Amino acid sequence: MTGEALDFALDSLKLGNTRLREHLMRLYLNLDAYPEVGSILGHLKARGLKCGILSNGSPKMLTTAIECAGLQALLDLVLSVEEVQVYKPHPAVYQLALDRLALEANEICFVSSNGWDAYSAKAFGFHVIWCNRSGQLPERIPETPDAEIRTLSDLPEIFGLP
């Protein structure tokens, strides 16, 4: 999906260059996490919370990104849409988390930096926190996230954790 989105962007800008595409795709596999991510995940895990990823990314992309960011030991679960063969915001993707964790939707706090994902996960029934780093306008989806933050550093306070 990332490659298809990049192809669309390159075509839209009339930059149909195979070498540029390959270079950008390689860079995408080496993205760093935001500076606070590792410490916040460690803080949450130390207080007994399970942390995971539910992504439209492929397993290979996710594994590479997690390793690049050094987050392997901080994640209990990494789920890719490849298991259900549809992309978010399809309900089957959110259901995958319930099935794998053996939890009800209201037992999961879903955090996303994508507005469409946060609003769709709320419509599915999760407790949702939208990490709106760039101050985007709200999505036009019927449900509203439970909270909106600018950085993951705000999570412990929202969860009431010291």
Kindly report the backbone phi and psi dihedral angles of residue 41, in degrees, each rounded to the nearest multiple of 5, phi listed first.
-60, -45
pLDDT at 32: 87
For 106-112, what is the mean pLDDT? 97
Q: What are the structural domains, with CATH classification, of the chain?
A: 1-30 (no CATH), 36-159 (3.40.50.1000)
- Residue 101: which pLDDT band, with cuts at 50, 70 and 90? very high
Task: Give the model confidence (pLDDT) of 34-58 as tens digits.
Answer: 999 999 999 999 999 999 999 999 9
Contact 94, 126 (CB under 8 A): yes
Dump the DSSP string for 6-21: HHHHHHHTT---HHHH
Contact 98, 117 (CB under 8 A): no
For 143-148, what is the mean pLDDT? 95
Look at the block and give the residue holding tokens 């987050």. Answer: 71
d(CA 100, CA 93): 11
pLDDT at 56: 93
- Residue 3: which pLDDT band, with cuts at 50, 70 and 90? confident
Task: Give the model confidence (pLDDT) of 5-28 as tens digits.
Answer: 889 999 999 987 789 999 998 887
Q: Is the previous residue joined to 162 through a cis bond, with omega within 30 degrees of 0?
A: no
pLDDT at 29: 77
What single-letter amino acid sits at 8? F
Angle of the 91-101 helix axis to the 115-124 helix axis, nearest 10:
60
